[in-house]
Amino acid sequence: MIIAGFGDSITRGVFVEEHSYLNVLAAMTGASVINAGIPGQTSTQAIGRLDSDVLGRSPDLCIVAFGMNDHVCKAPDTPKTPLAQFKENLRTICSRLKAKGITAVLCTVHPIIEGNSTAYYYARHPKEWYRNPPGAQARIEMYNEAIREAARLEGAALADVAAHWSKAIAGGCRLEDLLLTAENFGKDDGVHPNAKGHRLYAECIAEKIADL
């Protein structure tokens, strides 16, 4: 089986590429993997490379993982990709994959460390730009609901990574143990998963693949 990962820096596995969820999946399933993750990309930007990076390489299955960049506000309550457009982008990707006989697995987005004006997310993105809904994490949840809805409307598989992480955290795992932080990475990242976070991604996606 050939699995393509179509996404952003999280799919690429920045800073921990050896431990990226795609590499972990390859070890878990014996599948060959294609890493089509490009850091910083939104779903809108990615559609332009769907043919060359995924469809033209004929994988059996494609993991579609966007939202972390789409939700980011570029002005007060103005995300890079409006919510309705984000959902439509995902539906377009799923439709084009289906037309080529490629199974789509949509992934929701994991939680972040919001921090404050001097550290983590809000040190890079002004907190006052996230008021409706209140907070960046609340906006991420809106985009996760759009991902779930796109999967339902397109009949695509859903790997609910957000729910999987929430279950792990409820079971005693700290969010700080799943993300790159000042303590484990030397920088206040708080967005990108570390090796443990990527393993949770891989576990969630592997369960969905097994169901298929």
Q: Could you tell me the pTM of the whole model?
A: 0.96
Strands (DSSP E) along 16-72, which ranges?
Answer: 32-37, 61-65
To 10 degrees, the CA torsion angle through 92, 93, 96, 99? Answer: -110
pLDDT at 57: 97
Q: What is the CATH number of the domain that holds 129?
A: 3.40.50.1110
Any long-range contacts for 19-23 (C-beta under 8 Å, 24+ apart)? 19/194, 19/195, 19/198, 19/199, 20/198, 21/193, 21/198, 21/199, 21/201, 21/202, 21/205, 22/63, 22/202
pLDDT at 11: 98
Instruction: Give the mean pLDDT of the chain.
Output: 98
**Cα(71)–Cα(143) distance, rounded to whole angstroms?**
7
Per-residue model confidence as pLDDT tens digits over 134-183: 999 999 999 999 999 999 999 999 999 999 999 999 999 999 999 999 99
Give residue 62's domain range. 2-211
Structural domain count of the chain = 1
pLDDT at 15: 97
Per-residue model confidence as pLDDT tens digits over 40-68: 999 999 999 999 999 999 999 999 999 99
- DSSP, collapsed to helix, strand or coil, labels residue 68 as coil
The identity of residue 10, as a single letter, is I
**Cα(76)–Cα(87) distance, rounded to whole angstroms?**
21
Task: Say if residues 46 and 66 touch (Cβ distance below 8 Å).
Answer: yes
pLDDT at 73: 98
Percent of the chain with pLDDT over 90: 100
Q: Edge-to-edge strands of the sheet including 32-37?
A: 32-37, 2-7, 61-65, 103-107, 157-159
Strands (DSSP E) along the chain, which ranges?
Answer: 2-7, 32-37, 61-65, 73-75, 78-79, 103-107, 157-159
